[in-house]
Amino acid sequence: MNNNIQNVSITGIGMYVPEKTLDNAHFESYLDTSDEWITKRTGVKTRHIVEKGTPNSDLSYEAAVKALEMSGVAPEELDLIIVATVTPDRLFPSTACTLQAKLGAGDCGAFDVLAACSGFIYALSIAHGQMALGNVKKVLVVGSEVMSSIIDYNDRGICVLFGDGAGAVVLENVPEDRGSLVDYIIRADGRQGEILYMPAGGSLNPTSFETVKKNMHTVKMEGNKVFKLAIKHMAELAREITQRNGLTLDDIDMVCIHQANIRIVKGVMSALHLDMATKSYNNIDRYGNTTAASIPLCVHDAFKDNRLKKGDKMIILTFGAGLTYAAALMEWGIENTLQDSTAIADTKEAIEEQKITVPAGVNGKKNISMDI
């Protein structure tokens, strides 16, 4: 990277997940599955789900407030807001624009990025690019999803994986002793687009009675293909981003990998010959796959649990629909003081806890294969 460009770092981080949870016992009640099977195959024990009708921007707002509080940046000081998501409030206006209004962030730039699970790193790289050009100085980047709105809860291969949540970071120009965003790699392979996708809702298959009847507005996935490509590409990205920055994998203190499936994480760490217990952090057991929110939630919790410390070199790796895959290299710059830890752990109680009912149309157990 250009050494003349002013240093950019994360100065605040926040997260939010809804209070309502679905544990594995819920799926045992109407699908042919078990807690043991789900845990072994995916690593997920529970996932957080919004109340019906809760918009993405509500989750984004809660996470953003926490990130801004930690950074000390007021909403009106923001120059740009980017929201990475595949589940926006609506196609337009963007969720970022809605979030801007909810925060009272003035007339700063605001737009969404759609790169599925890789969206957060894509958004980070765009934000950093704008800062490097001198166009903006303070940026809010959010990864936020309401995946429950596009999940078929009769499909055992999909519904046990996903949850809702949001994570946010504030980027600022700061001295290098406060950390640094060092490098990014963003890639895609559109030839593999139909192994993980949602068939309808866009201009190719506009919403109609037929698309709803055929259940075309929910996630479809070829799990085995996604599994193999995810491990391959994320391991390659980790090697490439370290090598081109004059580092080895031994120099890396923390690897945060997209929390899609614990077996994918294990596969990547094994391919890199890194110790999973000491070099990676995982929270898929608590949240499931939150798509674009996965990486900021993982980084947030690694920091909160004191696994990520000031001065640590960290790689974040993602892989998602598109296919998209991405990596970022950074040096963490926030001190984990008691005050910071408390601030990021607290969330506003905006949604009442309530058990979710079995989805309409579910009668008896469904024996649906899962190939991931």
Catalytic residue among 108, 117, 256, 298: 117
To 5 degrees, how large is the angle CA 169–CA 306–CA 264? 75
Q: What is the DSSP string of 116-183?
A: GGGHHHHHHHHHHHHHHTTS-SEEEEEEEE-GGGG--TT-HHHHTTB--EEEEEEEEE--GGG-EEEE
Please confirm, yes or no, whether 258 is among the known catalytic residues. yes
**Residue 198 corresponds to which amino acid?**
M
Q: Out of 26, 48, 128, 258, which one is annotated catalytic?
A: 258
d(CA 87, CA 85) in angstroms, rounded, equals 5
Q: Which amino acid is at 268?
A: V
Q: In degrees rounded to 5, what are phi and psi of residue 66? A: -65, -40
> For 311, left (φ over 0), alpha (ψ -120 to 50), or beta?
left
Q: Which of 261, 289, 298, 300 is catalytic?
A: 289
Q: What is the DSSP letter of 216?
A: -
Annotation marks residue 273 as catalytic: no
Our answer to whether residue 108 is catalytic in this structure is no
- Cite the active site residues: 117, 258, 289
